[in-house]
Structure 1
Amino acid sequence: MSVKPIREHAGKSLLEKLLPEVSGGKHKMGCAGVLVTPAVLDPTSGQTWDKILQENPWLKTTNLVAKPDQLIKRRGKAGLIAVNKTFDEAKQWVMDRMCKEQKVEHVTGQLTHFLIEPFVPHKQEQEHYICMLSHRYHDEILFYHEGGVDVGDVDAKAEKLELATGEAMTEALVTEKLLSKLPAAKKANMASFICSLYKFYGDLHFAYLEINPLVMLDDNTVIPLDMAAKIDETANFLVAQKWGELDWPPPFGRAAYPEEALIHEMDGRTGASLKLTILNEKGRVWTMVAGGGASVVYADTVADYGMGHELANYGEYSGAPSTEETFVYAKTLLSLMMKYKHPEGKFLIIGGGIANFTDVAATFTGLIKALQEYADDIKEHNIKILIRRAGPNYLEGLRKVKAASDKLGLGIKVYGPETHITAIIPMALGLIKDLPEPDLSAPCGPPVRKMIDLKGKKPTPKGHPAAPAGTKHTLVTATPDTTCIVYGMQNRAVQGMLDFDYMCKRKQPSVEAMIFPFSGNHYVKFYWGTEEILMPVYTTTKEAVQKHPKTSVFVNFASFRSVHETTMEAMNHGNLKTVAIIAEGVPEQQTRDIIKVAEKKGVGIIGPATVGGIKPGCLRIGNTGGMLDNIVMSRLYRPGSVAYVSKSGGMSNELNNIVARNSDGVYEGVAIGGDRYPGSRFLDHFLRYQDDPKAKMLLLLGEVGGTDEYDLIEAKKKGRITKPVVAWCVGTCASCFTTEVQFGHAGAQARGDMETAAAKNKAMQEAGFHVPESFDKLPDMVNQVYTQLVMDGEIVETPEGETPQVPMDYTWAKKLGMIRKPANFISSISDDRGEELTYCGMSISDVFTKDIGIGGVLSLLWFRRQLPEYCTKFIEMILMVTADHGPAVSGAHNTIVTARAGKDLVSSLCSGLLTIGPRFGGALDDAAKMFADAQSSGVAPKEWIDKMKKSNQLIMGIGHRIKSLANPDQRVEIIKGFAKKNFKSTPVLDYALAVEQITTKKRANLILNVDGCIAVSFVDMIRSCGAFSKEECDDLMAFGCLNGLFVLGRSIGFIGHYLDQLRLKQPLYRHPWDDITYIQELAGQGPE
């Protein structure tokens, strides 16, 4: 998310709603107008002209202005404003242009949204200009007393006021700095309005607000006639209620696609980052790139090879998206690719940097699903697919894709980290020969580099220049003794930091403690090599810092919602000198506030929106450097000579890879974050590297947007930076687009020619930086500069030592298929590991879609079968019939007594359930077995009864306290009737009814009771439904599933009795003495 433009109607509506509130009722905006959309072309839609008129009757009573509301600049000069029109005239003007193509300067687009608002008669001298915009350290307000269409160069003309972050605006200050050329009679009211407007600007997290003209009428009413505004979308969680439903329109000339809306909506629901912008839906070159920085690099390289006009989309999927999210993203791209067929075919470039923590195999599983779905279309449209990816589990991911490609006949080429990140682009475009695909049987090892042959030379190094006197650096330069505190339960990241420490042969772990405010103080186990250690976890930062006073680094994993509060608290502790803010999506106002406090207190900030940084041999922040195999591959366990700074966290891993393959390795690397206002700038780090004698060569990866690179250029010109700098700014592809494109990072958008990547690269080259022709040539430039430093004696190469080993976690090793172990537990009824919970293979969504009910769920979980509907209905009947039998039975009685003793629900329920046994409710299994065995044996009912009598055995399921054949138990009648009507056969029930005819002749209440009827009917059901073998039926009876049905059903009633007692507020129960017979004699001694 980032700063985004809003419609003029949206800005004026907010002003209309909130200006009276922020001004204390002194100023009112007036009418914000009405937005007319293409819905008016459809008489069945919600918006019709009649409805617009009905809701806005003022349209008929005043003259109007009509104009497109689609982020179009200089509409007046383009003839796109209709002034002083009646409603009918304005309506006709709009309808003549609705959904028609219009060229504005060099951009052609379709007019789809129009603003109609009241016409305000005024004089030319009443038109003024005002603009508010935010910078890193201050807000700037520009005011010019002569506004309007011909305002000209306001940067040169306007009076300006700069307010430092957090500084209050006063009417006196406004009058002095901005209103010197305004008539005296107007000054007070205009100053008051500007103060109110600035409060509105800040409260709603605007980043840019321009009104031209701003009209002040003779009665001192202030009315904004034309407005352009941008809002910080990341502040949604703070001010969404004030914003209401804001529309984020695309730039004019680029249509809004439903596919973009789908990805945007999915992005809002997930912790991953999913972006999609469609640039040319008929284009031949499509990209699916993991990582914000990588996505820009791929777009740049396509443009560098002359195919910018064919680039169809821009976007990213990163931040560990799930398999399903990746599937939807890939499916969306493929569906767009199939809209138009091109006779020369198309290209799909699936790329990305070396991931820090995203499981590549998991995301590629989603990709494979999409490829399988569109395999025939891919072949029909002649789409060439190349993949380059690396990171956690990348080998498995590439293997899976390659296997799927071979099976589907797609001819996909796959590459890993041994291939430069953008090398697949010229291969895909047919500009160079395809490189051989790597061996996917083993991971890519560390690059093997031969030491540079000095050819007998013994050059003398120049020596390291001393830093200027009084130089101080706010950021901690890490040493092998530097330690940190981690905020948040980021166990995986902490374990990665400890593994890095162990690999670097640190004596003590770099993480001293963790903070987690949502549980009490406790300890968490981590590995230190092969040994286990305990890490303290505190609930407050204050306690953690007090207990660990030597810690100097604070790694903040708090969410974007709470990162401001936690960072501000951390900076109150003097020993914390560097704070790394990992969260993405921190509102710019909060970031600027953090920067202000940090600089005042001398605290260095890395981030927000960063992966962190790494100093080989000393400290790794969070997930920087990725998995251990990547740490080894990039030789990050020992220091090299190259220090780099990147905006992108994902691209920092790619720089590690480039540096490791083209030099002696990384000395230190930092990703400062992609936001518009990173906590620390390029210059802050480069000055540290300049003053560090061990950093011999500097590497910069900047990007389009912002001006931080110019600070480096100035330092280079002044001689403050003398070490060789290899530099490149990504985002050169921006010149290929006719409309503005917001690249992957919040700050990656140029706000002027000076902020373009091309301008920065040119300026850096002119200042003496080593700037390659393109990012694709960056590795060669690094190698060239490094080689020269070795030849000059500035870098003295040493033989590579032994690669250290760190034991691999069992979980990850198992995931990679490197080890196996017999499971201690086996489950065959449910699985919660995938995207969706399954019951015996049926997804939870299918459970509801097929409406299988509680009986169907029970059949899946208990019997591992999807039984016929009449069976599941019978199961539900059993649960309903057995749910309760009044408060007097032993189980209900126990539950009631326990509840009245003040015990909780579970305890009360358990006390009732523990009474279930042979005498109460537990006869179902025995009754089923007795009657099933008797019926199967072929013994006549009379003979079987006699046999049971002779062996002194009770017949389970026979007998009731009060019911008889003449006064039947309705529960029995319901069960019996259902079984007779729906079961294929009922031999065991028939046998039991025959027994009943004999037993009731002895005594009328010896009927087949409800337990017995359920038992024998259940046996008939499982035997006749065709889902079970005879052995399986016998096992089910032996396992106690019938008693389980009684327990499950009766739990409903027991819980009901518990709740009933609480609702009735019943006191502790004490049984009356008169209901107890007390016997005093000793056992064995009767009365004399």
Structure 2
Amino acid sequence: MSVKPIREHDGKAMLKRWLPEFSNGKHRVESAGCTITPEVLDHTKAHNWDLILEENPWLTEQKLVAKPDQLIKRRGKAGLLCVKKDFEECKQWILERMCKSQTVESVTGTLTHFLIEPFVPHEQSEEHYICLQSFRYSDQILFYHEGGVDVGDVDAKAETMDIASGEEITEEKVVAGLLGKLADDKRAGMSSFIVALFKFYKELHFAYLEINPLVMLADGSVVPLDLAAKVDETANFLCAQKWGDHEWPAPFGRDLYPEEKKIHSLDGKTGASLKLTVLNDKGRVWTMVAGGGASVVYADTVADYGWGHELANYGEYSGAPSTEETYTYAKTIISLMTRYKHPEGKFLIIGGGIANFTDVAATFTGLIKALEDSVMELKEYNIKIWIRRAGPNYLDGLRKIKAAGQRLGLPMKVYGPETHITAVVPMALGLQEELPEADLTVSSSPPPIRKTIVVKNKKEPAALPAPVGGHTIVTADAQTTSIVYGLQNRAVQGMLDFDFMCKRKTPSVSAMVFPFGGFHYVKFYWGTEEVLMPVYTSIKLAVEKHPDASVFINFASFRSVHETSTEALNFPSLKTITIIAEGVPEQQTKDIIQKAEAKKVGIVGPATVGGIKPGCIRLGNTGGMLDNIVMSRLYRAGSVAYVSKSGGMSNELNNIIARNSNGVYEGVAIGGDRYPGSRFLDHMLRYQDAPGAKILLLLGEVGGTDEYDIIEAVKSGKITKPLIAWCVGTCASCFATEVQFGHAGAQARGDQETAAAKNKAMKEAGIHVPDSFDKLPDLVDQVYTKMVEEGDIVEEPEDPTPTVPLDFTWAKKLGLVRKPANFISSIADDRGDELKYCGVAISDVFKQDLGVGGVLSLLWFRRQLPVQCTKFIEMILMVTADHGPAVSGAHNTIVSARAGKDLVSSLCSGLLTIGPRFGGALDDAARMFAEAESSGVKPKDFVDNMKRANKLIMGIGHRIKSLDNPDQRVVIIKEYAKTNFGSTAILDFALGVEQVTTRKRANLILNVDGCIAVCFIDMLKSCGAFSDSEVQDFMDFGCLNGLFVLGRSIGFIGHYLDQLRLKQPLYRHPWDDISYIEKLAGDSEST
């Protein structure tokens, strides 16, 4: 998410809609023009010229201007303006250029969008220039009394006004600050326009708005002729309705590939981050990189080794994408790779930093599936695969993908965190000898203890000056505690495990805040012991109960993080606030920064993973899983303090520092937004004052000017400790058009903000700057070795690696432990992306139109039965659905409903009446008739045997029905069975019994319960899906009674709803229907 440009038409449409409101009706934009797209070339499309004229009748009534609307600068000088023409002339001018290639300066692209708007007659003297843009602490307005294509260097000659965040402007201030050179008679109208324009700019979350020329006519009306604008995309949840329908156009010369549109669409539908930009579809080097910062580093390294012209794509996937999302992303890249062949083959570099919380094995499952589906193409196009990845469950992921590569016969090299993040790049390009592949049979462990460095100049410990006070961010110690906002149990448990490993005496988390669940406790582990963490419903309560907590870790979403952070600023005891959320609107961030600095509260974030200080505290998920904490020796303090923008790259810095020095003293990821709450300098000055921080390390990136503050601090002597620095994004020079890198702030707004310019300036200032990021580990080693040799760093003996009990859930996922399951289920699976009924995905249930009978067959019988069987099941449910309100079950349901009981209670009341005398005889009837039929006994003998044994024949007998007056339910069931089942042996036997019993009494017929029972057993036996023993099991399990319960529940619920609908009162049985007996016959007189 970032600041993004919009089309001129969309910007003017917003002005037309909102300017009257913000100016109290003084100013308005009469027309935003109309957009012409390639649809006019296709007569089958609705958006044709006739419709355009119908919607915009003014097109034939006046002179017009036509121009491309594709983020093209200096259109006039490029000959891309059609001025003062009628509609037919503009139409012809557009048709001559539509979908044609056009070169503007050094960029070539296809013209696809044009804007037609009214021509505004005016004098040159009526043209002016205005620009609004945003900075960290203010918004700036530039105004020049002259405008147009030849306005020149407005930055140098325009009047400027800086408006502090949260400050309002007035017409008087505008006149005094901007309009000194404007004619007196124009000042009032122009000042009111600028005030309204600034309100519009702020309310709709613009980040840049330039109008040139801005024409002020003799009647005082103000008309924007040419407009360029950028809005803060992260404010979509606030401004979507205000913005209206619009699109995010690609830069001119960067026509989006269908694959890019596909990934962009997928990105908008998921909580993960998926980005793809195709740079050169014929290039040989393709990357699939996890992490925003890591994606830039890989592109940089390819470019720094001289292969920038072969870099085919830029992109990243992060934020724990699902297996299916990773599959789609990988498959898309492979499809692009295999579009064109290259005689020397191609390289697919699958890389990434050490993840904080993304399950590497889970994402690699999707990647493996993509490789399996594309194995023939990968071989045909001679694609070599190089992999380097680390993070949670990385060993399992690397093992699986290596096994897949061997099984598929793909040329593949696999590495883990034992190698530098970009080490695979020079190896893939043949510029460096291949390192041995990772040993995937053992888990990660700390790097080997470094060889002892010989001290050449032993020094006595120097007396260090007292740290300078005034830092807004509190430097943590082993007693620092925090409050966590949000039910982030996994993050809190990780913080407690880190504390325990660092041998803290008490946890660093005092409490959690969750406003929706009421006050309660959550159980966590402190080592092997269980502890209860209080969860409060408000920040106020948490702070009152835990006044010693000085750190507030805010996991609120981007929608509510401004509100919660602002509330936290009201409590003086909270000295540092960490904002984890990505996608916070820039204006909200600026407001938080302003309030925090006024109260001297430090801010880390937004869009940060947090920070870590070995031995003291970790903020959130910083440092990743415990195995990474161990591998990077973050459980004890080292001598190198770093600041990074990227959270993922902070883990890589931990790894680099651990392998090339004595470890990390402290590390902070300030976040990748344009306006981070704290800057590089804020932390570097803390490190300068911290006695334990001997070496400072800075990882900056393209965009912004914060690195220049560090340069000035070095030059002025504020920073004197050895400083190593690198700015990622040097690959930007390889791109013909502007590319938005992984972070919102990773975009240069001028030459000074490019990575190359900042690296050059830092080197000239005496800062240690490597030749490329790939050389950073060597430089850390050199600076550290020199300081040890000179006695500035004294190496300490390495203590044994501490251990923390592994969480059972994670250990089980890694396959380290096993435990008998408490429950076993073989009929449904709610894991994965889609619910499954006995292996059949829910989507397939509907595609195959299985119906209720099909679903019941899957869940009850673990079979997908034939259609005639599932239809019969549905018939049973329909036949048994109800039998009127007089039966016992319906009666109980009705009485309960009228007593005011809820639906579930009333339904249960009815269901509890089902038994041998009401609906519960189906299983006994099925068992009785099936056993008799299989024994070969004759129906008459069966009846005689049951009589001699004094047993009732289940399923025989009805209160009023007979052979002459049959029960239609029985007729329907019987006829369906006879027509559709392969055998009806048990039904035939039961009908034989009926012939015997009806001779004794006419109503001793095969009733509906008996008919359903025998027909259902005939169905099971004849459908070919079950053995005799399985059929017997279903009878024993009560399956047939279950059908009655399921079917009759429909009727019971109907009766409940019917009673409520009719508003029936409490039922009381009438006395005259009750016989009150005081004395039973046969009782003695004394009784």
Range class of TM-score, shorter chain:
over 0.9
In the alignment, is the contact (CA less than 8 A) between 2:8 and 2:227 conserved in 1? yes
CA distance in 2 between counterparts of 1:601 and 1:453 reads 46
Residue type at the aligned position of 2:1069: H
**Which residue of 1 is the match for residue 470 of structure 2?**
472
Q: Which of residues 506, 521, 524 is equivalent to 1:523?
A: 521
Alignment of 1:833-982 (within 5 A): 833-982=831-980
Q: How many Å separate the matches in 2 of 1:1066 and 1:683? A: 75
Name which of 773, 777, 782 aligns with 2:775.
Answer: 777
Which amino acid in 2 is paired with 1:135? F
Q: What displacement does 1:46 show?
A: 2.4
Alignment of 1:640-651 (within 5 A): 640-651=638-649
The residue matched to 2:708 in structure 1 has which SS?
helix
Aligned residue number for residue 236 of structure 2:
236
Contact 1:989–1:1013 under 8 Å retained in 2? yes
Letter matched to residue 199 of structure 1: K
What is the aligned-residue identity percentage?
76
Partner of 1:161: 161
Look up the SS of the partner of 1:1037 in the other structure. Answer: helix
Instruction: Tell me the residue number matched to 1:74.
Output: 74
Q: Distance in 2 between matches of 1:805 and 1:642?
A: 24
Q: Distance in 2 between matches of 1:461 and 1:110?
A: 67
Q: Do the aligned residues in 2 keep the contact of 1:462 with 1:794 (CA within 8 Å)?
A: no
Q: What does 1:187-202 correspond to in 2, within 5 Å? A: 187-202=187-202
Q: State the Cα distance separating 1:930 from its structure 2 match.
A: 0.9
**Aligned amino acid, residue 139 of structure 2:** D
2:1052 partner amino acid: F
- 3-state DSSP of counterpart to 2:306: coil
SS of the residue 1:684 aligns to: helix
Q: Which residue of 1 aligns with 2:658?
A: 660
2: distance between equivalents of 1:226 and 1:635? 57
CA distance in 1, matches of 2:929, 2:109: 82
Corresponding residue number in structure 1 for 2:181? 181
Deviation of 1:1087 after TM superposition, in Å, equals 5.8
Post-superposition offset of 1:343: 2.0
Shift of 1:964: 1.6
Partner Cα separation in structure 1 for residue 461 and residue 763 of structure 2:
25
Q: Deviations for 1:288-308, whole angstroms, at most 9, x for unmatched residues?
A: 000000000000001011111
| CA distance in structure 1 between the aligned counterparts of 2:430 and 2:703, rounded to whole angstroms | 32
Matching of residue 93 in structure 1 with residue 99 in structure 2: no
Q: Secondary structure at the match of 2:719?
A: coil
The structure-2 alpha-carbon separation of the partners of 1:43 and 1:802, relative to structure 1 and needing over 3 Å to count, comes to same
Do residues 41 (structure 1) and 37 (structure 2) align?
no
SS in 2 for 1:307: helix
1:400 counterpart = 2:389: no
Secondary structure of the residue that 2:918 maps to in structure 1?
Answer: coil
TM alignment of 1:596-607, pairs within 5 A: 596-607=594-605
Report the counterpart of residue 250 of structure 2 in structure 1: 250
Tell me the residue number matched to 2:110: 110
- Is the Cα–Cα contact under 8 Å of residues 892 and 910 in structure 2 kept in the other structure? yes
Please state how far the C-alpha of 1:183 moved relative to its aligned partner: 1.4
Q: Which residue does the alignment assign to 1:1085?
A: 1083
Distance (Å, rounded) in 2 between the aligned partners of 1:455 and 1:25: 77
Rounded Cα–Cα distance in structure 2 between residues aligned with 1:433 and 1:696: 34
**CA distance in structure 1 between the aligned counterparts of 2:718 and 2:409, rounded to whole angstroms:** 58
1:716 & 1:413 partners in 2: Cα distance?
42
Which residue number corresponds to residue 321 of structure 1? Answer: 321
**Distance (Å, rounded) in 1 between the aligned partners of 2:1019 and 2:88:** 76
Choose 767-776 or 188-197, whichever is displaced more: 188-197
Q: CA deviation at 1:1080?
A: 2.3
Q: Secondary structure at the match of 2:783?
A: helix
With 897-906 and 414-423 compared, the bigger mean Cα shift is at 897-906
Contact 1:204 1:243 in 2 (8 A): yes
**Hey, what does 2:416 align to over in structure 1?**
416
Q: Distance in 2 between matches of 1:466 and 1:1075?
A: 98
Three-state SS of the structure 1 residue aligned to 2:542 is helix
Q: How does 1:217-366 map to 2 (within 5 A)?
A: 217-366=217-366
Residue 924 of structure 1 contacts residue 1014 of structure 1 at CA under 8 Å; is this kept in 2?
yes
**1:727 has 2:725 as partner:** yes
Distance in 2 between residues matched to 1:339 and 1:241, nearest whole Å: 41
**Are 2:138 and 1:138 aligned?**
yes
Does residue 1:807 correspond to 2:805, yes or no?
Answer: yes
- Provide the rounded CA distance (Å) in 1 between the counterparts of 2:601 and 2:579: 13
Q: Deviating runs (4+, > 6 A) in structure 1?
A: none
AA partner of residue 1073 (structure 2):
D
Distance 2:575 2:39 in 1: 57
Find the aligned partners of 2:165 and 2:529 in 1 and give their Cα distance. 49
**In structure 2, what is the Cα distance between the partners aligned to 1:824 and 1:55?**
67
What CA distance in whole angstroms lies between the structure 2 residues aligned with 1:244 and 1:515?
36
Q: Give distance in 2, aligned partners of 1:398 and 1:953.
A: 69
Coordinate RMSD, CA, aligned:
1.2
Q: Give the whole-Å Cα distance in 2 for the aligned partners of 1:268 and 1:542.
A: 36
User: How far apart in 1 are the matches of 2:900 and 2:22?
Assistant: 54
Deviation at 1:462, TM superposition (A): 5.8
CA displacement 1:340-374 (0-9 Å, x = unmatched)? 22222111100000000110000000000101010
Amino acid at match of 2:63: N
Instruction: Quickly say closer, same or farther: Cα 1:1086–1:10, change in 2 above 3 A.
Output: farther
Deviations 1:789-828 (A, max 9, x none): 1112111001111100100011111111111112222111
Deviation of the 1:456 alpha carbon: 6.0
Work out whether residues 32 and 117 of structure 2, in 8 Å CA contact, stay in contact via their aligned partners in 1: yes
What amino acid maps onto 1:725 in structure 2?
L
Question: Separation in 1 of the partners of 2:980 and 2:128?
Answer: 85
CA–CA distance in structure 2, aligned partners of residues 464 and 843 of structure 1: 68
Equivalents in 1 of 2:461, 2:30: separation in Å? Answer: 72
In 2, distance between residues paired with 1:883 and 1:562? 49
Q: Give the equivalent residue in structure 1 for 2:480.
A: 482
AA partner of residue 1047 (structure 1): V
- 1:39 maps to amino acid: E
- Residue 679 (structure 2) aligns with: 681
Q: Could you tell me how far 1:843 is from its partner in structure 2? A: 1.0
Matches within 5 A, 1:208-219: 208-219=208-219
The answer for the alignment partner of 2:64 in structure 1 is 64
- Separation of aligned partners in 2, 1:467 and 1:848: 69
Match of 1:549 in 2: 547
CA contact (8 A) 2:128 2:146 kept: yes
Which position in structure 2 is the counterpart of 1:826?
A: 824
Supply the distance in 1 between the matched residues of 2:663 and 2:323 (Cα, whole angstroms).
Answer: 34
Q: 1:718 aligns with which of 698, 716, 719?
A: 716
Does the CA contact (< 8 Å) of 1:461 and 1:792 recur in 2? no
The total of aligned residue pairs comes to 1086
Q: How much does 1:1085 deviate? A: 2.7
Q: Which residue of 2 aligns with 1:18?
A: 18
Cα distance, 1:545 vs structure 2: 0.7
Question: Which 5+ residue runs of structure 1 have no aligned equivalent?
Answer: none
Q: How many Å apart are 1:450 and its aligned residue?
A: 2.8
CA contact (8 A) 2:991 2:1006 kept: yes
Note if contact 2:485-2:554 (Cα within 8 Å) is conserved in structure 1. yes
- Whether the 8 Å CA contact 2:456–2:791 is kept in 1: the answer is no
Contact 1:68 1:111 in 2 (8 A): yes
Question: 2:747 aligned to 746, 749, 762, which one?
Answer: 749
Counterpart code for 1:580: T
**How far apart are the structure 1 equivalents of 2:49 and 2:407?**
57
How far residue 455 of structure 1 moved from its aligned partner, in angstroms, is 5.4
What is the aligned partner in structure 2 of residue 738 from structure 1? Answer: 736
TM-score (norm 1): 0.99
Aligned partner letter, 1:311: L
- What is the CA-CA distance between 1:220 and the residue it aligns to? 1.1
In 1, distance between residues paired with 2:734 and 2:769? 21
- The gaps in structure 2 that reach 5 residues or longer are none
- Provide the rounded CA distance (Å) in 2 between the counterparts of 1:156 and 1:1070: 93
Give the AA of the match of 1:893.
H
Superposed CA offset, 1:966-1009 (max 9, x none): 22211111111111111111111111112222222222221111
Asked if 2 retains the 8 angstrom alpha-carbon contact of 1:483 and 1:552, the reply is yes
Q: Deviation of residue 457 (structure 1)?
A: 4.2
In structure 1, what is the Cα distance between the partners aligned to 2:560 and 2:62?
A: 49
Separation in structure 2 between the aligned mates of residue 251 and residue 105 of structure 1, nearest angstrom: 14
Q: 1:1082 to 1:504 in 2, by over 3 A?
A: farther
